[in-house]
Protein backbone atom coordinates (compact mmCIF):
# COMPACT_ATOMS: atom_id res chain seq x y z
CA UNK A 1 0.00 0.00 0.00
CA UNK A 2 1.17 3.54 -0.79
CA UNK A 3 -0.12 6.96 0.29
CA UNK A 4 -0.03 9.97 -2.01
CA UNK A 5 -0.99 13.62 -1.44
CA UNK A 6 -1.05 15.76 1.66
CA UNK A 7 -2.08 14.81 5.18
CA UNK A 8 -5.81 14.94 5.94
CA UNK A 9 -7.99 14.14 8.93
CA UNK A 10 -10.23 11.11 8.42
CA UNK A 11 -13.48 11.01 10.36
CA UNK A 12 -14.77 7.67 9.07
CA UNK A 13 -14.45 5.18 6.21
CA UNK A 14 -17.23 5.06 3.65
CA UNK A 15 -18.53 3.55 0.45
CA UNK A 16 -19.61 5.81 -2.40
CA UNK A 17 -23.29 5.63 -1.47
CA UNK A 18 -22.74 7.07 2.02
CA UNK A 19 -19.72 9.28 1.27
CA UNK A 20 -19.40 12.76 2.70
CA UNK A 21 -17.06 15.30 4.23
CA UNK A 22 -14.13 13.82 6.12
CA UNK A 23 -14.51 10.34 4.68
CA UNK A 24 -11.91 7.93 3.37
CA UNK A 25 -13.91 6.44 0.51
CA UNK A 26 -13.38 3.13 -1.27
CA UNK A 27 -13.37 3.80 -5.02
CA UNK A 28 -12.78 0.70 -7.14
CA UNK A 29 -13.25 2.45 -10.49
CA UNK A 30 -12.91 5.87 -12.11
CA UNK A 31 -16.70 6.22 -12.03
CA UNK A 32 -16.80 5.74 -8.25
CA UNK A 33 -13.83 8.08 -7.81
CA UNK A 34 -15.71 10.89 -9.61
CA UNK A 35 -18.80 10.30 -7.46
CA UNK A 36 -16.73 10.36 -4.28
CA UNK A 37 -14.97 13.58 -5.31
CA UNK A 38 -18.37 15.19 -5.92
CA UNK A 39 -19.48 14.13 -2.43
CA UNK A 40 -16.57 16.05 -0.89
CA UNK A 41 -14.65 13.17 0.66
CA UNK A 42 -11.26 13.78 2.26
CA UNK A 43 -9.37 10.96 0.52
CA UNK A 44 -9.78 7.84 -1.59
CA UNK A 45 -8.66 4.26 -1.22
CA UNK A 46 -8.24 2.88 -4.71
CA UNK A 47 -6.03 1.01 -7.17
CA UNK A 48 -3.10 2.21 -9.28
CA UNK A 49 -5.19 2.65 -12.44
CA UNK A 50 -7.63 5.19 -10.91
CA UNK A 51 -6.43 8.80 -10.97
CA UNK A 52 -7.72 11.52 -8.65
CA UNK A 53 -6.62 14.99 -7.42
CA UNK A 54 -7.45 13.96 -3.85
CA UNK A 55 -5.07 12.42 -1.31
CA UNK A 56 -5.13 8.71 -1.94
CA UNK A 57 -4.17 5.33 -0.53
CA UNK A 58 -3.20 3.05 -3.41
CA UNK A 59 -3.46 -0.72 -3.03
CA UNK A 60 -3.33 -3.60 -5.51
CA UNK A 61 -6.30 -5.03 -3.59
CA UNK A 62 -8.35 -2.02 -2.48
CA UNK A 63 -11.30 -4.02 -1.14
CA UNK A 64 -9.01 -6.07 1.08
CA UNK A 65 -7.23 -2.92 2.25
CA UNK A 66 -10.60 -1.32 3.01
CA UNK A 67 -11.45 -4.27 5.26
CA UNK A 68 -8.35 -3.40 7.28
CA UNK A 69 -9.46 0.23 7.51
CA UNK A 70 -12.91 -0.81 8.72
CA UNK A 71 -11.28 -2.91 11.45
CA UNK A 72 -9.52 0.21 12.76
CA UNK A 73 -12.89 1.94 13.16
CA UNK A 74 -14.71 -1.08 14.59
CA UNK A 75 -15.62 -0.06 18.13
CA UNK A 76 -18.56 -2.37 18.78
CA UNK A 77 -19.33 -3.00 22.46
CA UNK A 78 -18.01 -6.20 23.94
CA UNK A 79 -18.52 -8.34 27.02
CA UNK A 80 -16.36 -7.30 30.01
CA UNK A 81 -13.61 -9.72 30.93
CA UNK A 82 -14.64 -12.05 33.73
CA UNK A 83 -17.76 -14.03 34.55
CA UNK A 84 -21.00 -12.12 34.95
CA UNK A 85 -22.75 -12.58 38.29
CA UNK A 86 -25.86 -13.96 36.57
CA UNK A 87 -23.98 -16.68 34.65
CA UNK A 88 -24.51 -20.29 35.72
CA UNK A 89 -21.10 -21.96 35.51
CA UNK A 90 -20.30 -25.53 36.59
CA UNK A 91 -17.53 -25.86 39.16
CA UNK A 92 -15.80 -28.38 36.90
CA UNK A 93 -15.62 -25.95 33.97
CA UNK A 94 -12.22 -24.44 33.14
CA UNK A 95 -12.38 -20.79 32.06
CA UNK A 96 -9.28 -18.78 31.19
CA UNK A 97 -9.08 -15.59 33.30
CA UNK A 98 -8.96 -13.45 30.15
CA UNK A 99 -12.28 -14.84 28.86
CA UNK A 100 -15.50 -12.80 29.00
CA UNK A 101 -18.71 -14.56 30.05
CA UNK A 102 -21.86 -12.46 29.69
CA UNK A 103 -25.18 -12.33 31.54
CA UNK A 104 -27.37 -15.43 31.87
CA UNK A 105 -24.86 -17.75 30.21
CA UNK A 106 -25.06 -21.45 31.13
CA UNK A 107 -21.82 -23.48 31.10
CA UNK A 108 -22.08 -27.17 31.98
CA UNK A 109 -19.61 -29.67 33.44
CA UNK A 110 -16.05 -30.05 32.11
CA UNK A 111 -16.32 -27.26 29.54
CA UNK A 112 -12.97 -25.68 28.62
CA UNK A 113 -12.87 -22.05 27.49
CA UNK A 114 -9.61 -20.59 26.17
CA UNK A 115 -7.90 -17.22 26.39
CA UNK A 116 -9.74 -14.18 25.06
CA UNK A 117 -12.99 -16.04 24.40
CA UNK A 118 -16.15 -13.89 24.43
CA UNK A 119 -19.48 -15.52 25.26
CA UNK A 120 -22.38 -13.09 24.90
CA UNK A 121 -25.61 -12.98 26.89
CA UNK A 122 -27.87 -16.00 26.99
CA UNK A 123 -25.51 -18.58 25.48
CA UNK A 124 -25.51 -22.28 26.42
CA UNK A 125 -22.38 -24.46 26.32
CA UNK A 126 -22.94 -28.17 26.90
CA UNK A 127 -20.89 -30.57 28.95
CA UNK A 128 -17.42 -31.45 27.69
CA UNK A 129 -17.32 -28.86 24.92
CA UNK A 130 -14.18 -26.87 24.15
CA UNK A 131 -13.90 -23.28 22.89
CA UNK A 132 -10.47 -22.31 21.55
CA UNK A 133 -8.78 -18.97 22.17
CA UNK A 134 -10.23 -15.72 20.76
CA UNK A 135 -13.49 -17.42 19.79
CA UNK A 136 -16.75 -15.46 20.07
CA UNK A 137 -20.31 -16.70 20.59
CA UNK A 138 -23.04 -14.18 19.77
CA UNK A 139 -26.12 -13.73 21.97
CA UNK A 140 -28.24 -16.81 22.39
CA UNK A 141 -25.87 -19.19 20.62
CA UNK A 142 -26.05 -22.83 21.68
CA UNK A 143 -23.18 -25.33 21.70
CA UNK A 144 -24.41 -28.77 22.70
CA UNK A 145 -22.30 -31.32 24.59
CA UNK A 146 -18.91 -32.63 23.48
CA UNK A 147 -18.37 -30.17 20.61
CA UNK A 148 -14.94 -28.87 19.68
CA UNK A 149 -14.73 -25.24 18.58
CA UNK A 150 -11.33 -24.06 17.34
CA UNK A 151 -9.50 -20.77 17.70
CA UNK A 152 -10.72 -17.41 16.37
CA UNK A 153 -14.12 -18.84 15.47
CA UNK A 154 -17.06 -16.42 15.17
CA UNK A 155 -20.58 -17.78 15.75
CA UNK A 156 -23.40 -15.25 15.46
CA UNK A 157 -26.63 -14.94 17.43
CA UNK A 158 -29.00 -17.89 17.90
CA UNK A 159 -26.94 -20.40 15.93
CA UNK A 160 -27.08 -23.98 17.22
CA UNK A 161 -24.05 -26.27 17.11
CA UNK A 162 -24.37 -29.98 17.82
CA UNK A 163 -28.12 -30.49 17.86
CA UNK A 164 -29.54 -33.96 17.13
CA UNK A 165 -29.30 -34.94 13.48
CA UNK A 166 -32.39 -35.69 11.37
CA UNK A 167 -32.49 -39.46 11.21
CA UNK A 168 -35.33 -41.99 11.59
CA UNK A 169 -36.02 -45.63 10.78
CA UNK A 170 -39.56 -46.86 10.03
CA UNK A 171 -40.49 -50.02 11.94
CA UNK A 172 -43.76 -50.57 10.11
CA UNK A 173 -45.84 -48.46 12.48
CA UNK A 174 -43.85 -45.36 13.34
CA UNK A 175 -40.66 -43.46 12.60
CA UNK A 176 -38.11 -44.44 15.25
CA UNK A 177 -35.50 -41.74 16.02
CA UNK A 178 -31.90 -42.78 15.48
CA UNK A 179 -29.57 -41.56 18.24
CA UNK A 180 -26.76 -39.29 17.10
CA UNK A 181 -23.87 -39.87 19.46
CA UNK A 182 -21.11 -38.17 17.46
CA UNK A 183 -19.92 -34.59 17.75
CA UNK A 184 -19.27 -31.39 15.81
CA UNK A 185 -15.76 -30.12 15.11
CA UNK A 186 -15.40 -26.53 13.95
CA UNK A 187 -11.83 -25.80 12.95
CA UNK A 188 -9.87 -22.54 13.34
CA UNK A 189 -10.95 -19.23 11.75
CA UNK A 190 -14.45 -20.40 10.81
CA UNK A 191 -17.26 -17.84 10.80
CA UNK A 192 -20.91 -18.89 11.08
CA UNK A 193 -23.79 -16.43 10.67
CA UNK A 194 -26.98 -16.03 12.67
CA UNK A 195 -29.71 -18.69 12.96
CA UNK A 196 -27.69 -21.54 11.49
CA UNK A 197 -27.82 -25.20 12.52
CA UNK A 198 -24.89 -27.61 12.43
CA UNK A 199 -26.08 -31.08 13.46
CA UNK A 200 -23.97 -33.65 15.28
CA UNK A 201 -22.98 -36.88 13.52
CA UNK A 202 -24.52 -40.28 14.21
CA UNK A 203 -21.00 -41.48 14.95
CA UNK A 204 -17.74 -39.69 14.27
CA UNK A 205 -18.01 -35.96 13.58
CA UNK A 206 -19.60 -33.26 11.51
CA UNK A 207 -16.65 -31.10 10.44
CA UNK A 208 -16.46 -27.48 9.28
CA UNK A 209 -13.00 -26.98 7.78
CA UNK A 210 -10.60 -24.21 8.76
CA UNK A 211 -11.30 -20.77 7.33
CA UNK A 212 -14.78 -21.62 6.02
CA UNK A 213 -17.39 -18.83 6.08
CA UNK A 214 -21.08 -19.61 6.49
CA UNK A 215 -23.86 -17.06 5.97
CA UNK A 216 -27.09 -16.74 7.96
CA UNK A 217 -29.84 -19.39 7.88
CA UNK A 218 -27.71 -22.32 6.73
CA UNK A 219 -28.43 -25.97 7.60
CA UNK A 220 -25.53 -28.43 7.81
CA UNK A 221 -26.73 -32.00 8.28
CA UNK A 222 -25.31 -34.77 10.44
CA UNK A 223 -21.93 -36.17 9.43
CA UNK A 224 -21.27 -33.53 6.77
CA UNK A 225 -17.60 -32.76 6.16
CA UNK A 226 -16.86 -29.32 4.70
CA UNK A 227 -13.35 -28.73 3.41
CA UNK A 228 -11.26 -25.71 4.42
CA UNK A 229 -11.92 -22.28 2.92
CA UNK A 230 -15.44 -23.08 1.73
CA UNK A 231 -18.15 -20.40 1.38
CA UNK A 232 -21.84 -21.16 2.02
CA UNK A 233 -24.32 -18.35 1.27
CA UNK A 234 -27.69 -17.80 2.94
CA UNK A 235 -30.29 -20.58 3.07
CA UNK A 236 -27.98 -23.31 1.80
CA UNK A 237 -29.04 -26.75 2.99
CA UNK A 238 -26.68 -29.74 3.04
CA UNK A 239 -28.02 -33.26 3.62
CA UNK A 240 -26.37 -35.70 5.97
CA UNK A 241 -23.03 -37.42 5.29
CA UNK A 242 -22.21 -35.22 2.30
CA UNK A 243 -18.62 -34.18 1.58
CA UNK A 244 -17.89 -30.66 0.29
CA UNK A 245 -14.40 -30.12 -1.14
CA UNK A 246 -11.96 -27.40 -0.11
CA UNK A 247 -12.52 -23.82 -1.28
CA UNK A 248 -15.90 -24.57 -2.79
CA UNK A 249 -18.67 -21.96 -3.11
CA UNK A 250 -22.38 -22.67 -2.70
CA UNK A 251 -24.51 -19.64 -3.55
CA UNK A 252 -27.83 -18.73 -1.92
CA UNK A 253 -30.52 -21.41 -1.49
CA UNK A 254 -28.45 -24.24 -2.94
CA UNK A 255 -29.71 -27.62 -1.79
CA UNK A 256 -27.40 -30.64 -1.59
CA UNK A 257 -28.83 -34.14 -1.19
CA UNK A 258 -27.50 -36.49 1.46
CA UNK A 259 -24.61 -38.89 0.84
CA UNK A 260 -23.19 -36.95 -2.11
CA UNK A 261 -19.77 -35.42 -2.71
CA UNK A 262 -18.48 -32.22 -4.31
CA UNK A 263 -14.85 -31.98 -5.37
CA UNK A 264 -12.45 -29.23 -4.39
CA UNK A 265 -13.19 -25.70 -5.71
CA UNK A 266 -16.68 -26.56 -6.89
CA UNK A 267 -18.97 -23.58 -7.52
CA UNK A 268 -22.76 -24.06 -7.46
CA UNK A 269 -24.94 -21.11 -8.50
CA UNK A 270 -28.00 -19.86 -6.57
CA UNK A 271 -31.07 -22.06 -6.10
CA UNK A 272 -29.44 -25.09 -7.71
CA UNK A 273 -30.15 -28.62 -6.52
CA UNK A 274 -27.29 -31.09 -6.19
CA UNK A 275 -28.48 -34.71 -6.29
CA UNK A 276 -25.33 -36.57 -7.35
CA UNK A 277 -21.56 -36.35 -7.10
CA UNK A 278 -19.95 -33.32 -8.78
CA UNK A 279 -16.41 -33.07 -10.12
CA UNK A 280 -14.27 -30.35 -8.64
CA UNK A 281 -12.96 -27.18 -10.31
CA UNK A 282 -16.21 -26.71 -12.25
CA UNK A 283 -19.22 -24.40 -12.04
CA UNK A 284 -22.71 -25.90 -11.88
CA UNK A 285 -26.26 -24.56 -12.05
CA UNK A 286 -29.87 -25.73 -12.16
CA UNK A 287 -31.80 -28.67 -10.76
CA UNK A 288 -30.45 -31.24 -11.07
CA UNK A 289 -27.16 -29.34 -11.10
CA UNK A 290 -25.27 -29.57 -14.38
CA UNK A 291 -22.13 -27.91 -15.64
CA UNK A 292 -22.88 -24.32 -16.60
CA UNK A 293 -21.85 -24.86 -20.24
CA UNK A 294 -24.36 -27.72 -20.57
CA UNK A 295 -27.11 -25.92 -18.68
CA UNK A 296 -26.80 -22.82 -20.85
CA UNK A 297 -27.37 -24.96 -23.95
CA UNK A 298 -30.45 -26.49 -22.33
CA UNK A 299 -31.84 -23.06 -21.40
CA UNK A 300 -31.15 -21.75 -24.89
CA UNK A 301 -33.06 -24.71 -26.34
CA UNK A 302 -35.98 -24.05 -23.98
CA UNK A 303 -36.37 -20.49 -25.30
CA UNK A 304 -36.87 -21.99 -28.78
CA UNK A 305 -39.39 -24.56 -27.58
CA UNK A 306 -42.62 -22.53 -28.22
CA UNK A 307 -41.57 -21.90 -31.81
CA UNK A 308 -40.70 -25.57 -32.28
CA UNK A 309 -44.12 -26.57 -30.92
CA UNK A 310 -45.83 -24.25 -33.42
CA UNK A 311 -43.77 -25.68 -36.26
CA UNK A 312 -44.56 -29.26 -35.26
CA UNK A 313 -48.27 -28.47 -35.06
CA UNK A 314 -48.12 -26.86 -38.49
CA UNK A 315 -46.41 -29.94 -39.91
CA UNK A 316 -48.99 -32.22 -38.26
CA UNK A 317 -51.85 -30.16 -39.69
CA UNK A 318 -50.23 -30.26 -43.13
CA UNK A 319 -49.86 -34.01 -42.88
CA UNK A 320 -53.50 -34.46 -41.85
CA UNK A 321 -54.68 -32.31 -44.75
CA UNK A 322 -52.65 -34.44 -47.17
CA UNK A 323 -54.24 -37.61 -45.80
CA UNK A 324 -57.74 -36.18 -46.21
CA UNK A 325 -57.27 -35.42 -49.91
Q: Annotated active-site positions, please?
A: 222
Cα–Cα separations (whole angstroms), residue 12 to 17, 28, 34, 73, 235: 14, 18, 19, 7, 33
Question: From the CB of residue 49, how many other CB atoms can be counted at a distance below 10 Å?
Answer: 8
Question: From the CB of residue 35, how many other CB atoms can be counted at a distance below 10 Å?
Answer: 16
* Residue 19: partners with Cβ closer than 8 Å, 6 or more residues away: 25, 35, 36, 39, 40, 41
Question: 233-238: long-range contacts (C-beta < 8 A, 24 or more apart)?
Answer: 233/270, 234/193
Q: Are 269 and 285 in contact (CB under 8 A)?
A: yes
First to last CA, the chain: 84
Amino acid sequence: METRGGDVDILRPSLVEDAGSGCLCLATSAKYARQAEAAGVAALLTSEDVSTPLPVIVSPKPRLAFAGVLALFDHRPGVPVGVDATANVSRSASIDPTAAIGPNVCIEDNVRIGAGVEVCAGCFIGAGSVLGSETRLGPGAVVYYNCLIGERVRIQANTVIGSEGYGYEFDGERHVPVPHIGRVIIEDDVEIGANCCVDRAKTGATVIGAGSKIDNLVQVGHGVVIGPGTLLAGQVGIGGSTKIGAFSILAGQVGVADNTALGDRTIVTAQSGVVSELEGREMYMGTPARKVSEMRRILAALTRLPDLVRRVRALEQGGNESKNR
